[in-house]
């Protein structure tokens, strides 16, 4: 009788482990999926041609080897500029007079 109870207990435990192992195999852990996060920071995309001349002059002066990839503007006429410098991407901010802003100085609008 003891052997029968022990055998049943082992069978139940083994069956439970294999069921949970099977359940874990069916969970979709696709690490190749793309997640897009959209943040509304009050900026809208514009073209480089829409930049004020003072901002263009500041970019040419301070980032001689940079390539401007994207440009945005907010309601306070502050510009968010995505640059590639020596294969490294960075983001800088400027006001309409071409003065560089720190990220914390940028107005965030909803």
Tell me the pTM. 0.62
CATH code of the domain containing 57: 3.40.1420.30
Q: 84 and 66 in contact (C-beta within 8 Å)?
A: yes
Structural domain of residue 53, as residue ranges? Answer: 44-103
Has residue 71 been placed in a domain?
yes
pLDDT > 50? residue 45: yes
Has residue 87 been placed in a domain?
yes
For residue range 50-80, what is the model confidence (pLDDT) as tens digits? 999 999 999 999 999 999 999 999 999 999 9
24 three-class SS: helix
For residue range 85-94, what is the model confidence (pLDDT) as tens digits? 999 999 999 9
């Amino acid at each position: 009788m003891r052997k029968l109870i022990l055998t049943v207990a082992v069978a139940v435990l083994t069956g439970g482990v294999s069921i949970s192992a099977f359940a874990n195999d069916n969970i979709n852990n696709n690490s190749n999926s793309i997640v897009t996060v959209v943040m509304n920071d009050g900026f809208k995309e514009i073209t480089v041609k829409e930049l004020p001349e003072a901002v263009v002059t500041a970019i040419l002066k301070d980032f001689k080897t940079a390539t401007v990839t994207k440009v945005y503007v907010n309601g306070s006429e502050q510009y968010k500029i995505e640059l590639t410098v020596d294969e490294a991407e960075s983001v800088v901010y400027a006001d309409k007079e071409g003065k560089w802003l720190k990220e914390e100085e940028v107005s965030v609008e909803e």
